[in-house]
Amino acid sequence: MKPQAKIERVAVYPGSFDPVTLGHLDIIHRAAKQFDKLIVAVLNNTSKNPLFTVEERKELLRQATDDLDNVEVDSFRDLLVRYMRSRDAGVIVRGIRSVTDFEYELQLASTNRHLDEGIETIFMTTNPKYSYLSSSIVKEIAQFEGEVRELVPPHVEQALRDRFRERAQAADRR
């Protein structure tokens, strides 16, 4: 039999991750089991007004995925499919929480397919525990000093507290 070179299956999980939640982490843990390597890629999107910088979001993700050997954290500002090619990745992983997510995700997947037929999108359905959970909801709760302990890892909870405290202090000085 011919010796076969092992083909590494590399997937990318792209998103804003502003900040990473337990919903994202659930997808990351499950997706990491399906691929040789999973790159969690923070979208460097200048049109949104993020709470955390790209570097901060990456650091929060790194700490959250410390225990997963085949997970790498990166960022990109290029077209996703072009970034995928540059990383030799063939699969995009996205999470689906609801029908609304599905409609948007289908549009996104079709666009990416149109741009590059060789790249596949795989959807993973949410863990029902986190079906209502989003970064926006977490930020909304944290902004009013609500409890986010069951929604994000402890270091993210701390980062949220610090960021909103800084903002409140800056507003007081104005």
- Site for ligand ADP contains 50 (CB under 6 A): no
Token pair 């596949």: residue: 120
- Site for ligand ADP contains 97 (CB under 6 A): yes
| 171, 143 Cβ separation under 8 angstroms | no
Q: Which residues contact 95 (CB under 8 A, 6 or more apart)?
A: 23, 24, 27, 101, 123, 124, 125, 126
Residues 111-170 that bind ligand ADP (CB under 6 A): 126, 130, 133-135
2 is catalytic: no
Give the H/E segment covering residue 62.
helix 54-64
155 is catalytic: no
Q: Site for ligand ADP (CB under 6 A): which residue of 10, 11, 17, 41?
A: 17
- Site for ligand ADP contains 16 (CB under 6 A): yes
- Give whichever of 34 and 168 is closer to ligand ADP, judged by the CB atom: 34
| 38, 8 Cβ separation under 8 angstroms | no
Residues that bind ligand ADP (CB under 6 A): 15-17, 23-24, 27, 94-95, 97, 101, 126, 130, 133-135
